[in-house]
Each structure stands twice: as C-alpha cells, then as structure tokens.
Amino acid sequence: MNVSVFRSQLEEELAWRTEEILFFQNQCANIDKQDQQEKFRRALVLLLYSNFEGFCAFALQLYVIAINQEEVECSKANYAIVAASLHNVFVTLRTGNKKAEEFKTTAPDDSKLHLFSRDREFVEKAYDILKRKVKIPEGTVNTESNLNSIVLRKNLYRLGLPHEQFQSMEPDIEKLLGLRNKIAHGETKQGVSALLYEELRSSALHVMSEITTELTKAFSEKKYLLPMGN
C-alpha cells in the first residue's frame, strides 16, 4: 500500500462519516420546536461519538495493515512494532509450560529451570526471530469499552507513535465521551443545546482530521522503522 492509497482510504472513511453526521444534523434543523431539537441532539451526540470511535479504530487498524504489507524485518522495525509482532513469543516465555528436553525426567517440577530454558532458547534463536517479517497481530488495536483519551494514548504507544501527540485535544474527547455515557446510561434526560453540540462536533471532527494527517505523516516518513543509526 503506497502513501496515496493509505491517505485516500482514510479520507474516504472520514468523508462518509462526516456526511452521515451532517445528514442527521440537517434533519434536526428541520424540526420547528427548540425543545424537540434539543431532544434530537441527544441522539446526535450518540451518533457523533460512535463515528468518532469507529473512525479512530479504522484509522489505527489501517496503519497496522499498511505496516504489515511492507514486510519489514523485525530487526529494522521500531521497538514497539517488534514487541507487538512478537507478542506470542513473549507470551510463551512468560506463561508457557514448555520444559527443557534435558531435564524433563530428572527435574520435572523445576519451574525456574524450565523458565530459564525458554529464555536460553530465545537467546539462541534471537537472530532468526529478528529476521522474521513484521506481522502485527489482530487485536493490537483495541478501543476497549470506550475510546477515551487514555485508551487512545495506549493504542498510539503500542504502535510506536507519540502517545501524547493529541494531548491538547484530550479534554474535548473526555467531554464528548462523558456526555455520551450520561445519555446512553440514562444519567441525564436533558436536551443538548445547539452551542454545546456544535462544540462537540467541531472537536470530534478536528481530532479525526488530525489523526488522518498524523497517521499519513507517520506512514509516509516510515516511523515504523528504527531511526537511522540504531
């Protein structure tokens, strides 16, 4: 996948989600009574958040797909990408029950020895392991139960991206999520004013646009690779 295709897919995803938001927003404008408009905007907040979360998940997963298609050796990828690619290896090292062939009979219950054996085998095969092609597994991108600012940071961190790059926008993300949860969980029955909705919509679309820009830049500049000289 080249950069132009990557950018195009992000922009197409952003475009249809923006159009959907604006379509229902226009329906609200056709309602005559203000109190009914405010009630309608409650639903718009839910729609706004679902599109925000859905777009972020799509964008980050597309970044994963694009990196995997590059077929870079682990030895050349940045540390986060390698760690993600070798997740199954590390799970085996930490929790596996594989026992050393030499001591299966003489020391069958020596867990520390068998753990050392797995560490030793990893060292022996480290060169071959680092020659593997990067393959970030499904599930690395995880929006959890809600995509709040902390969850967004965690996903960026897992992909070796600056996890604080959207820090200035985090209060807007939390405000949108907070109101969405209150509405979805029945904690508030109040309508949503035009001013508040416009603020939330503007913030959500701004974050989505910035994610498009920053991920495109990261892919274009090959941020998934180790810096030159490492």
* pLDDT at residue 72, as a whole number: 94
* pLDDT bucket at 33, cuts 50 / 70 / 90: very high
Position 165 scores a pLDDT of: 83
| pLDDT > 70 fraction of the chain, expressed in percent and rounded | 93
Q: Which helix (H) or strand (E) holds 13?
A: helix 3-29
DSSP state of 73: B
Q: Please tell me the distance from the alpha carbon of residue 15 to that of residue 217, in angstroms, as a whole number.
A: 19
**Which pTM was predicted?**
0.87
CB 18 within 8 A of CB 170: no
